[in-house]
Structure 1
Amino acid sequence: MTQLVRRRVVVTGVVQGVGFRWAAAAEAERLGVAGFVRNLPDGTVEAEVEGSADAVERMLEWLAQGPPAASVSRCDVTEVAAAGERGFRIRGTSVG
C-alpha cells in the first residue's frame, strides 16, 4: 500500500478571479489526489493535497504555476497529517 502524504499550501499572487480553484480541482482529479482548495479573505488561495508522495509533489509543482491567467509569486507549503480523505473539493471562501 502506498504511504499517503498531505501538504497544506498557501498560494500568493494573482490567484483569485482567474479560475485557479477550478483548474486546481481538474488537475487534482487528473493526478488522483484528494483534498480541497479555497480562496482566503486576504487574496491568497489555500489548498490541502493528499495522495502518494509523487502525485502530491506533481500537484505542488502545478500549484506553483497555476492556470494561465494566474501569476503565482509564492507558495508556502507545510506538512500536515494525512486524513485518508477521498475526492477533491472546491470549498467556499474561508471567513477567518
Structure 2
Amino acid sequence: MPDEIPHNEERAVRAVVEGRVQGVGFRYWTVQAAKKCGITGWVRNCPDYSVEIFAEGEPDALHDFFNAVQHGHPLAYVASCNISAAPYKGFDSFKVRY
C-alpha cells in the first residue's frame, strides 16, 4: 500500500481511506502525522464514511505518512487505502477540511 505511492515530480497524491476511520479522531490524528512527516494538504470525512486525503511532499515523506495513516492510529481500522497521483497544488500546511 505505501509502495503504491506514485513517484511523480509533482509529489501530490489523493487517497481514499476506508474502514473504521470516522468517529475515532482519525482526521485530527492525520493532521499531526502529516506535520511530523512534513506533508501539506488536507483531510476530510466523506458521506460514505471513508476519509479522503490530499497530500503533497517528498516521495519518502509521503511513504512514511501513508504508512502511519494505515497502521498508526490506535483506535482506527484501515481496511483499504487507495492512493492515486494528483495535480500538485502547493499547499503550505495540512488541515482538516469540512
Question: Under a length normalisation based on structure 2, what TM-score does the superposition of the two structures give?
Answer: 0.87
8 Å CA contact retained: 2:10, 2:88: yes
My pick for the range that moved more, 23-32 or 64-73, is 64-73
> Could you say what secondary structure the match of 1:48 adopts?
strand
Q: Which runs of 5+ in 1 are unaligned?
A: none
> Residue in 1 aligned with 2:95?
89
**Cα deviations across residues 31-71 of structure 1 (Å, max 9, x unaligned)?**
11100000000000000110111111111111222511001
The alignment covers a number of residue pairs equal to 90
Which structure features the higher share of strand residues?
Answer: 1
> Could you say what secondary structure the match of 2:32 adopts?
helix
- In angstroms, what is the RMSD of aligned CA positions? 1.1
Q: Following superposition of structure 1 onto structure 2, how do residues 6-85 of structure 1 map, counting pairs within 5 Å?
A: 6-85=12-91
Separation of aligned partners in 2, 1:4 and 1:33: 13
Question: Under a length normalisation based on structure 1, what TM-score does the superposition of the two structures give?
Answer: 0.88
Q: Which runs of 5+ in 2 are unaligned?
A: 1-8
The list of structure 1 runs, each at least 4 consecutive aligned residues, that deviate by more than 3 angstroms after superposition, is none
